[in-house]
Amino acid sequence: MSILHLSFYSAFTLSSLGLAFHRTHLISALLCLESMMLSMYVALAMWPIQTHTSSSTILPILMLAFSACEAGTGLALLVASTRTHGSDHLHNFNLLQC
Amino acid sequence: MDLPLVLNTLMLLTLAILSTPIIFPMLSSKFKNTPSTITSTVKASFLISLIPMIIHIHSGTENLTLLWEWKFIMNFKIPISLKMDFYSLTFFPIALFVSWSILQFATWYMASDPHITKFFTYLLFFLVAMLILIISNNLFLLFIGWEGVGIMSFLLISWWHGRAEANTAALQAVLYNRIGDIGLILCMAWLASTMNTWEIQQIVSPTQIPTLPLLGLVLAATGKSAQFGLHPWLPAAMEGPTPVSALLHSSTMVVAGIFLLIRTHPLFSNNPTILTLCLCLGAMSTLFAATCALTQNDIKKIIAFSTSSQLGLMMVTIGLNLPQLAFLHISTHAFFKAMLFLCSGSIIHNLNGEQDIRKMGGLQKMLPTTTSCLTIGNLALMGTPFLAGFYSKDQIIESLNTSYLNTWALVLTLLATSFTAVYTLRMTLLVQTGFVRIPPLTPMNENNPAILLPITRLALGSITAGFLITSYIPPAKTPPMTMPLYIKVTAIVVTILGMMLALELSKLTQALIKPKRNSFSDFSMNLGYFNPLAHRFITAKILGGGQNIASHLVDLSWYKMLGPEGLANLQLMASKAFTTLHTGLIKAYLGSFALSILIILMSTY
C-alpha cells in the first residue's frame, strides 16, 4: 500500500491503542478518540481525490459534524464524572457496586 | 397298647406340665408361682418323662410328630415337627432330673434373694427353651430353642446386675454366642436355598454336601460350646449364681452346640475335612482349658474350665465319627458336673461367700456330705473305673487310640486327660484336706434337706448313670474290642500319673518354698493371653481400621481432596486467576477491546 495509507492506518492504530491503554486521566482517552476522528477525516478527505469521484466529497463534513457532537458528549461525561467522583482518575470508575 | 401314641402323649404332657407355671399366672391373677411350686412342677415332669424313656428302651419305639405348619411361602412350609428318638427321649429325663435337683438346691441357695420367684421363672424359661432345642426335628425350631437359651443365659448371668463384672460377662456370653449364630444361620440359609427344607430327615442326601454350610455348623458349635477361639465367655459366665452355672454352663446349654452336631451328623460323616477340623479343634480346646485350670484359684472357675475341657472331648468324639458316644458323654457329664457345681455352691455359702481355694481347707470334717460328694464327682470326672465318667471317657480314649486319625490330636487329648487329674486332685486337696485356712467364727451348717437331697441324688446318678445307660442302650457302632494292653490302660495310666504329679505338687504348699514363676505358669495363669489379645488388641485394630476407612479415607480424602471439595478448590484457583479481569475498571475492558481487534487484524493475514 502507499505511504498515504500507511500513515492513516498507523495514525488510527496508534490512536486506538492509546485509547485502550491510557493511564491515569480520562481526558487522554478523549484526546485519543479525537485523533482517531482526525485520521478518519483525513482518510475520508483523500478518498474522492484519489478515486476522482466527487460525489463523496460531503462525507468528511458529515463525519466532522458527528465527531463534534461526540466530543461534546465526551466532555460532558468528563465533567459529570468529575462532579461525582471528584477527579477524572480512571481507577475511580468501577462498574462493581460493592 | 398303642406304644407310639403313649410315647407321643407323654412327651407332649411333659412339655405341657413344664409350661403351666408360665401360662397359669397369665390366665388368672389369683394363681401365683412360688419356688416350691416350680420345683414340684419340674419333679412331676421328670417322673412323667421317665415313662417314654422306658418305653423306648423296652421296644425301641420312636416317633415323629408334626404339629401346626407355618405356610410361609408356596413351596417352603415350616412345620413344628418334634422328633422323639433315642437322643431326645434319653436326654429329657436326664435334663429334668438335673434341673429338679438344681431347683431344689436353689430354694436354699437363693433364699435371701427378694426376687427368687423371678429367678425360678427364668430357670424354667431356660429349661423349656432347652427342651424345645432337644426335641426339634427341623433347624427352625432348633434355632428358636438356641436363641431362647442364649437370651436366658444372658439374663441369668447378669442376675446380680449391680456388679459390673457380671454385666461384662453376660455381654461377653451374648457376643460370642452371636458369632456362633452366624454359622448356624449360614447353614440354614444354604439349606433353604439348595434343599428347600429345614427338616433333618430331608437334608441327608447321598451326594456330598459342600464344606461351607458344614463349616457354619462347626462355627455354631464353637460359639455355643465354648471351643477354642470362642471360649472366653464360659469362665466369665461364672459371675452368675451357682444354680445358673450348674444348670446352664455345665449340663445343658453348653452341650447344645455338640447336640446340634450330633443331630446333623449324617451330613458330614463322610466329609473328612470337617471331621478332622472337629477333631483338632476339640483336642485344642480340651488341652487349652485343662492348662488354664491348673493355676486357677477360684473354685467355680476350676469347674468351669473342666467343663470347657470336657466339651472339647465331646468335640473330639464327634470328630471320630461317634455321635452316640458323644451323647453318652453328655449324659454322664451332666450328672457329675452339676453335682460338682452344687457342692461348690454349698461350700461357698457355708464359708460366707469365699470362693478362693487358697482360703479353704480341712472342710472334710466340717461339711462331710458335701465333701464326700465332691470327691465322688471328682473321681467320676477323672474317669475312675466304673463310675459314670469311666463308661464314656474311657471308651472315647480307646476309640481315639485305635483309630487311624491325627496323632497330634491324640497326644493333646491324653495330655489333657492327665491335666484333668492334676487340677481336680489339686482342688480336692486344697479344699477338703490339709490345714484349715478359713477365718474362725464361720457358721457352717449343711444339715438342710434342700442341700443334702439334691447332692446325694446327683451323687447316686454319678455312680450309676454310666452303668445303667450302657447296660440298657446298645451301642450304634461296635466299639473296638481288641487292642494291645498298653493302649487299653493308657487312660488309666495317664490319670494316675497326673494324680501322682498333683500329690507331689501339693506338698509345695506345706514346704514354704516360693513357687518359681516361669513362662508356662504365666501362660496358664493368664488364660493363654487370649482375653487381652481378643478383647483389646484385635478390637482396637478393627476399630482403628474402621476409623481409617470411614473417616480418613472416605470423609477426608475422597470427599475433601478428590470429590466435591477438590473440584471446588480447582474452581477457586481459576476464579482467583480471573478476578483481576473483573475489577470493573474501564481500562480492563478497553484492553480486552484492543486485544480482540489485534487478533482480528492478525487473522486476516
**Nearest chain A residue (CA) to B585:** A94
| A21 closest CB neighbour out of B583, B584, B591 | B591
Residue numbers in A near B602 (CB within 8 A) = none
The answer to whether the Cβ–Cβ distance between B587 and A94 falls below 8 Å is: no
Statement to judge: residues B469 and B518 lie in one domain = no
**Nearest chain A residue (CA) to B589:** A20
Q: Name the minimum distance, in Å, from the CA of A31 to any CA of chain B.
A: 15
The 10s digit of each residue's pLDDT in B525-563 is 888 888 888 888 888 999 999 888 888 887 777 777 777
| B583 closest CB neighbour out of A21, A22, A94 | A94
The answer to whether the Cβ–Cβ distance between B585 and A20 falls below 8 Å is: no
Statement to judge: residues B499 and B589 lie in one domain = no
The answer to whether the Cβ–Cβ distance between B591 and A22 falls below 8 Å is: no
The answer to whether the Cβ–Cβ distance between A94 and B593 falls below 8 Å is: no
Residue numbers in B near A85 (CB within 8 A) = none
Quick one: cell of B76? 417352603
> Would the pLDDT of A46 be above 70?
yes
Which residues in chain A (62-91) have CB-CB distances under 8 A to chain B? 90-91
**Nearest chain B residue (CA) to A18:** B594
What is the dotted CATH code of the domain comprising A3-92? 1.10.287.3510
The answer to whether the Cβ–Cβ distance between B593 and A17 falls below 8 Å is: no
- A16–B contact, CB cutoff 8 A: yes
| A94 closest CB neighbour out of B585, B594, B597 | B585
H or E segment to which residue B331 belongs: helix B323-350
Query: Which ipTM was obtained for this model?
Result: 0.73
| B586 closest CB neighbour out of A17, A93, A96 | A93
Q: Which residues of chain B are under the pLDDT cut of 70? A: 206, 509-512, 581, 584
Name which of B419, B414, B418, B408 is nearest B280 in CA terms: B408
Residue numbers in A near B582 (CB within 8 A) = 96
The answer to whether the Cβ–Cβ distance between A96 and B591 falls below 8 Å is: no
Name which of B188, B118, B191, B187 is nearest B155 in CA terms: B118
Residue numbers in B near A16 (CB within 8 A) = 594, 597
Question: Looking at the DSSP assignment, which residues form a beta bridge with residue A89?
Answer: A25
pLDDT at site B206: 65
Please count the structural domains in chain B.
3
Residue B567 included in any domain: no
Quick one: cell of B594? 484492543
Residue numbers in B near A20 (CB within 8 A) = 590-591, 593-594
Which residues in chain B (532-591) have CB-CB distances under 8 A to chain A? 582-587, 590-591
CA gap A10, B544 in Å, rounded: 74
Statement to judge: residues B129 and B106 lie in one domain = yes
Residue B569 included in any domain: no
Q: Name the minimum distance, in Å, from the CA of A93 to any CA of chain B.
A: 6
**Nearest chain B residue (CA) to A9:** B601
Which residues constitute the domain of residue B595? 574-604
Name which of B374, B333, B335, B454 is nearest B39 in CA terms: B454
**Nearest chain B residue (CA) to A97:** B584
Q: Name the minimum distance, in Å, from the CA of A55 to any CA of chain B.
A: 30
Q: Name the minimum distance, in Å, from the CA of A75 to any CA of chain B.
A: 17
Question: Looking at the DSSP assignment, which residues form a beta bridge with residue A25?
Answer: A89
Quick one: cell of B553? 479415607
Q: Name the minimum distance, in Å, from the CA of B598 to any CA of chain A.
A: 10
Statement to judge: residues B456 and B582 lie in one domain = no
| B585 closest CB neighbour out of A16, A29, A93 | A93
Question: Looking at the DSSP assignment, which residues form a beta bridge with residue B279?
Answer: none
Quick one: cell of B397? 480314649
**Nearest chain B residue (CA) to A95:** B584
Statement to judge: residues B373 and B518 lie in one domain = no
The answer to whether the Cβ–Cβ distance between B584 and A91 falls below 8 Å is: no
> Would the pLDDT of A97 be above 70?
no
> Would the pLDDT of A98 be above 60?
no
8 A C-beta contact, residue B401 and residue B483 = yes
pLDDT at site B145: 94
**Nearest chain A residue (CA) to B596:** A20
**Nearest chain A residue (CA) to B594:** A20
Query: Taking the CA of residue B239 as centre, how many other CA atoms within 13 Å lie in the half-sphere pointing to its CB?
Result: 25
- A54–B contact, CB cutoff 8 A: no
pLDDT at site B536: 87
Phi, psi (rounded to 5 degrees) for B403: -100, 165
Helix (H, G, I), strand (E, B) or coil at B523: helix
Burial of B72 (0-12, 13-18, 19+ CB in 10 A): exposed
**DSSP assignment string, chain A:** --HHHHHHHHHHHHHHHHHHT--SBHHHHHHHHHHHHHHHHHHHHHHHHHH--GGGTTHHHHHHHHHHHHHHHHHHHHHHHHHHHSS-BGGG-B----
pLDDT at site B590: 80
- A94–B contact, CB cutoff 8 A: yes
Statement to judge: residues B494 and B542 lie in one domain = no
CA gap B334, B328 in Å, rounded: 10
Identify the DSSP state of B220. H
**Nearest chain A residue (CA) to B591:** A20
Statement to judge: residues B530 and B436 lie in one domain = no
CA gap A27, A23 in Å, rounded: 10
The full set of domain ranges for chain A reads 3-92
Statement to judge: residues B586 and B468 lie in one domain = no
Quick one: cell of B600? 482480528
Helix (H, G, I), strand (E, B) or coil at B513: coil
Residue B146 included in any domain: yes
Statement to judge: residues B471 and B526 lie in one domain = no
| A16 closest CB neighbour out of B584, B587, B594 | B594
| B584 closest CB neighbour out of A17, A21, A94 | A94
Residue B557 included in any domain: yes
Statement to judge: residues B209 and B169 lie in one domain = yes
Q: Mutate which of A1, A14, A15, A16 to test chain B, going by most B C-beta atoms within 10 A? A: A16
- A52–B contact, CB cutoff 8 A: no
Statement to judge: residues B485 and B386 lie in one domain = yes
Statement to judge: residues B401 and B467 lie in one domain = yes
